[in-house]
């Protein structure tokens, strides 16, 4: 079934790209960042589509007819890389702007994405509030934590995907999505804290900053450690900024960076360096 969808918090159109590849049609989009808007228009054909630069000012009655709302609502308030202000951060409260539109228009589907940290923020209460909001709006919810590395992307990027189905409409269950050799990590509405999602991503590291291999666990044959952190550079900044990685492993999660020398640093052994070492050794 072909869906007409609204792309909220559109960025440069990642959600849109996937939805259009699946055969669906974008009828409108919303993005506040002027530079992202420029990229979005350059990448996608947007002529004649509804547009807003601020979800807080959107009147739901002005939106065109649509079946689905998509949105990667701001994640900084819930990310483990940030201060995790949650709903106390104004960016965290933007979820309720989505809820405002849903309440007025009642689309058949709602398709949202956010960081893994949303699941266990404030002991699971934040995520529970989101699920309960969906329930009160008349939606049955399913959700799953997925990692981009299981879908052909050389990056460890875990994100929770949430799908709301308008109660009373016919629906096909989407989750769980599985891949070969992937242990499914899924909780459906009714569970607000994913035990496997707590803490850091340390199980994915193959080396710590001292060059030691982390302890092997009984499940490593199913999910081997794949991000290789080789050490810390002697530069200014936090530990996250100073880390450098092996070319043989996955990239760590890529964030917006926005300067500050925060891009992932990969150690590549120069061919000349190899030849020099060989001459010295002989």
Domain ranges of the chain: 4-197, 202-281
Instruction: Indicate the range of 41-50, 169-178, 180-189 predicted with least confidence.
Output: 180-189
As a whole number of Å, the end-to-end CA separation of the chain is 68
DSSP 176: P
CA torsion angle for 133, 19, 90, 120 (degrees, to 10)?
60
**What whole-number distance in Å separates Cα of residue 222 and Cα of residue 183?**
7
Q: Which of 69-73, 92-96, 167-171, 228-232 holds the top average pLDDT? A: 69-73
Decide: helix, strand or coil at residue 63: coil
Q: Looking at the predicted structure, is the pLDDT value of residue 123 above 90?
A: no
Among 30, 68, 70, 75, the one annotated catalytic: 75
Compute the distance between CA of residue 19 and CA of residue 38 in angstroms, rounded to an integer.
20
Q: Of 198 and 245, which is predicted with more confidence?
A: 245
23 vs 1: which has the higher pLDDT: 23
Q: Is it the case that residue 196 has pLDDT exceeding 70?
A: no
Q: What is the CATH number of domain 202-281?
A: 3.90.120
pLDDT class for 60, splitting at 50, 70, 90?
very high
| CATH class, range 4-197 | alpha beta
Residue 8's SS3 state is: strand
Handedness of CA 239, 244, 249, 252 (dihedral sign): positive
DSSP helix/strand/coil, 213:
coil
Closest by CA position to 12, among listed 40, 31, 35: 40
Q: What pLDDT band is residue 189 in, cutting at 50, 70 and 90?
A: very low
Task: Give mean pLDDT, residues 11-15.
Answer: 95
pLDDT of 33 = 96
Taking CA atoms, 222 is separated from 122, 179, 217, in Å, by 30, 12, 10
Higher-pLDDT residue of 223, 48: 48
pLDDT of residue 234 exceeding 90: no
Q: CA 191 → CA 9, 30, 121, 187, 188, distances in Å?
A: 27, 31, 14, 6, 6
d(CA 26, CA 264) in angstroms, rounded, equals 33
Confidence class for position 210, pLDDT limits 50, 70, 90: very low
Phi, psi of 122 (to 5 degrees): 55, 45
Mean pLDDT over residues 122-140, rounded? 88
Band the pLDDT of 157: cuts 50, 70, 90. Answer: confident
Global pTM value? 0.64
| pLDDT reading at 72 higher than 70 | yes
Interhelix angle 125-137/95-105, rounded to 10 degrees, is: 10
Confidence check: pLDDT of 51 > 90: yes
Taken as a whole, the chain contains a residue count of 282
Structure confidence at residue 120 (pLDDT): 84
Over residues 166-171, the mean pLDDT reads 84
Reference 244, options 208, 202, 199; nearest CA is 208
Is 75 a residue of the active site? yes
The answer to whether residue 88 scores a pLDDT higher than 90 is: no
CA separation, residue 147 to residues 29, 80, 124, 132, 199 (Å): 26, 16, 20, 25, 16
Rounded to the nearest 10 degrees, how much is the dihedral formed by the CA atoms of 209, 215, 221, 226?
-10
Residue 160 scores a pLDDT above 70: yes
115: confidence class by pLDDT, cuts 50, 70, 90: confident
| Residues 137/90, Cβ–Cβ less than 8 Å | no
Is the confidence at residue 164, as pLDDT, over 50?
Answer: yes
**What residues does 8 pair with on adjacent strands?**
71
How high is the pLDDT of residue 107? 97
The pLDDT value recorded for residue 192 is: 28
């Amino acid at each position: 079934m072909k869906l007409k969808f609204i792309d909220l918090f559109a960025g440069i159109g990642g959600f849109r790209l996937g939805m259009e590849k699946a055969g669906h049609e974008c009828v409108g989009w919303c993005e506040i960042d002027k530079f992202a808007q420029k990229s979005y228009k350059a990448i996608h054909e947007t002529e004649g589509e509804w547009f807003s630069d601020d979800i807080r000012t959107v009147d739901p009655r002005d939106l065109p007819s649509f079946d689905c709302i998509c949105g990667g609502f701001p994640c900084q308030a819930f990310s483990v890389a940030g201060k995790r202000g949650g709903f106390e951060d104004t960016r965290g409260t933007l979820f309720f702007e989505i809820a405002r539109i849903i309440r007025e228009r009642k689309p058949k589907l709602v398709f949202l994405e956010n960081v893994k940290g949303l699941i266990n923020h404030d002991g699971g209460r934040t995520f529970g509030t989101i699920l309960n909001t969906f329930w009160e709006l008349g939606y049955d919810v399913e959700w799953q934590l997925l990692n981009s590395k299981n879908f052909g992307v050389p990056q460890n990027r875990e994100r929770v995907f949430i799908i709301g189905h308008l109660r009373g409409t016919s629906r096909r269950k989407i989750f769980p999505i599985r891949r070969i050799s992937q242990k499914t990590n899924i909780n459906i509405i009714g569970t607000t804290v994913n035990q496997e999602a707590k803490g850091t991503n340390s199980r994915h590291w193959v080396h710590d900053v001292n060059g030691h291999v982390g302890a092997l666990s009984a499940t490593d044959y199913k999910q081997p450690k794949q991000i290789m952190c080789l050490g810390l550079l002697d530069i200014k900044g936090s530990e996250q900024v100073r880390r450098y990685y092996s070319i043989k492993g996955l990239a760590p999660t890529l964030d917006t960076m926005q300067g500050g020398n925060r891009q992932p640093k990969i150690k590549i052994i120069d061919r000349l360096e190899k030849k020099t070492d060989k001459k010295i050794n002989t």
